[in-house]
Structure 1
């Protein structure tokens, strides 16, 4: 049994090209098959569509009317197929993301809400954690990670370095003095973030005019939650390092004051990761593009 829509397409091509042979060549089928499609339509309609002689063919009066209708039907069918393709390519479904707590809550969440407004058929499960997660074993489709990446099973797209600034409360600075150069930090109470690993937990690096200044710091208080560190700094217990986006409200209100503002603070590389063999679904592709556009390594402003 021949397909009516296919037969319509063959008939239109035969009418456009003026012969079964030309239509057969264009469609990659035999001229006998072209004829079968046209005859199938004529039998179904109970009337002739083409006047055929050994030398030429031409549309009958009804054939001209039917030809115009077939063109409309085929155009609508193509539009419907295009719509189906568009729907298949539209981001949809649940997306599981992991990110560091402070960056996630202050910088990533606003991006996620904008992304969800743009893609109403996507749901995002965002887990904020400062531990090192394995996106494959733990089922995350994308992970934002601070620090170097060495896992070759993951695709790592570079984002802006995660830059930190030093600040303290006005009361602490009034009592203990304002550090003028990075080495002054050695005599101050420096609040530590318990999840910092390696040198950053004991040594803070600043830079200015292409020169780096490493200062060994110490302090009696380490906390594994940024909100706790912020509370301790607001209480005047010491100097803390934190991301500018998280500190902006306190700095603006004057509850904290940036110190060593003439120096660039410590920074850590930041990437968005996904498994190398993970299927690049429309939801994952669009989310990666959104994150890179907002936080990509080429961006200059700080978050």
Structure 2
């Protein structure tokens, strides 16, 4: 039994006062109207209507059930309206949850999101920044930005973004005091600013010196790229961090780029989202927006 359909028929009977009028309003035959009412009564184990040859009236159970049926049908109507609105491609709306790595997310993804929200005022968004691999499905994320190689997945779609390029920099003050290294091997004589999430023995890798990393030391390390950037600006040492984090400082002359033609190889970056044959417009528009601004350069 289609219980919602039967409720709608019952409400129509109560509103119109007869099976014939309800049948016309519901585009059914009078026989089908009677069948829906009987099925409801059998399901409830109680009479909803008292009927005779000339009129009908609601029973006590029928009066109570009518009020609840109206509420339920109104809630269903509202739910349908919400679903229609969320799927309205002309006006994307709803809430998105996105996760991204800490440095890339703060420096590159957050500005794109604020632009997106200005263009689509009926969309809201949570951006969770963390240097861990969140489970999109289990943690109910709509999309994720990931750095590095991806495992195979039948449940996610991956779209490539611009590679994650690293750069080596130092402040002009530091270089005046300690000298400007021209070869990565000279870094062993300098104070280097290390990221705590990198394995301490991993070192910094450069193409000119082969696969073996340089194991470098310094007086300051942090698990936050922004803290390392600030330390470099204050002349505390030489920093290896994503280009997107240091680009404004380089352009303004606050940091000087080193080894421009001998940097660590870039890492792949992808936008991931769950596989869905019909993604809601809020997600479709977000994917398009990110790809337009951060997609691979032609």
What TM-score comes out, normalization by structure 2 length?
0.63
Question: What is the CA–CA distance in structure 2 between the aligned matches of 1:251 and 1:126, rounded to whole Å?
Answer: 27
8 Å CA contact 1:165, 1:266 repeated in 2: no
Q: Are 1:296 and 2:298 counterparts?
A: no
* Unaligned stretches of 5+ residues in structure 2: 1-22, 26-83
8 Å CA contact 1:116, 1:123 repeated in 2: yes
Match of residue 235 from structure 1: 234
Q: CA deviation at 1:235?
A: 2.5
Q: CA deviation at 1:277?
A: 5.2
Question: What is the CA–CA distance in structure 1 between the aligned matches of 2:251 and 2:120, rounded to whole Å?
Answer: 34
**SS of equivalent residue, structure 2 residue 134:** coil
Question: What is the CA–CA distance in structure 2 between the aligned matches of 1:176 and 1:186, rounded to whole Å?
Answer: 12
Q: Are 1:217 and 2:204 counterparts?
A: no
Q: CA deviation at 1:262?
A: 3.2
What TM-score comes out, normalization by structure 1 length?
0.62
Q: CA deviation at 1:213?
A: 7.2
Question: What is the CA–CA distance in structure 2 between the aligned matches of 1:87 and 1:276, rounded to whole Å?
Answer: 17
More divergent stretch after superposition (96-105 vs 270-279): 270-279
Q: CA deviation at 1:109?
A: 1.8
With over 3 angstroms needed to count, the CA separation of the structure-2 counterparts of 1:174 and 1:266, relative to structure 1, is: farther
8 Å CA contact 2:86, 2:93 repeated in 1: no
* Unaligned stretches of 5+ residues in structure 1: 4-83
Match of residue 205 from structure 1: 206
Deviation digits for residues 200-247 of structure 1 (CA, Å, limit 9, x no counterpart): x4232347xxx9676413124321111211122123222111223321
Q: CA deviation at 1:162?
A: 0.5
Match of residue 110 from structure 2: 109
Q: CA deviation at 1:165?
A: 0.9
With over 3 angstroms needed to count, the CA separation of the structure-2 counterparts of 1:195 and 1:151, relative to structure 1, is: farther
Match of residue 246 from structure 1: 245
8 Å CA contact 1:182, 1:215 repeated in 2: no
Q: CA deviation at 1:248?
A: 2.8
Match of residue 123 from structure 1: 124
Match of residue 157 from structure 1: 159
Q: CA deviation at 1:96?
A: 0.5
Question: What is the CA–CA distance in structure 1 between the aligned matches of 2:86 and 2:198, rounded to whole Å?
Answer: 45
Q: How many residues of Structure 1 are paired with residues of Structure 2 in the alignment?
A: 215
Q: Computing the radius of gyration over CA atoms, which structure comes out larger, 1 or 2?
A: 1
Question: What is the CA–CA distance in structure 2 between the aligned matches of 1:87 and 1:136, rounded to whole Å?
Answer: 21
Deviation digits for residues 149-193 of structure 1 (CA, Å, limit 9, x no counterpart): 114132211111100110012222223221212222233222112
Question: What is the CA–CA distance in structure 2 between the aligned matches of 1:263 and 1:185, rounded to whole Å?
Answer: 13
Question: What is the CA–CA distance in structure 1 between the aligned matches of 2:94 and 2:271, rounded to whole Å?
Answer: 20
Task: Give RMSD over aligned pairs.
Answer: 2.9
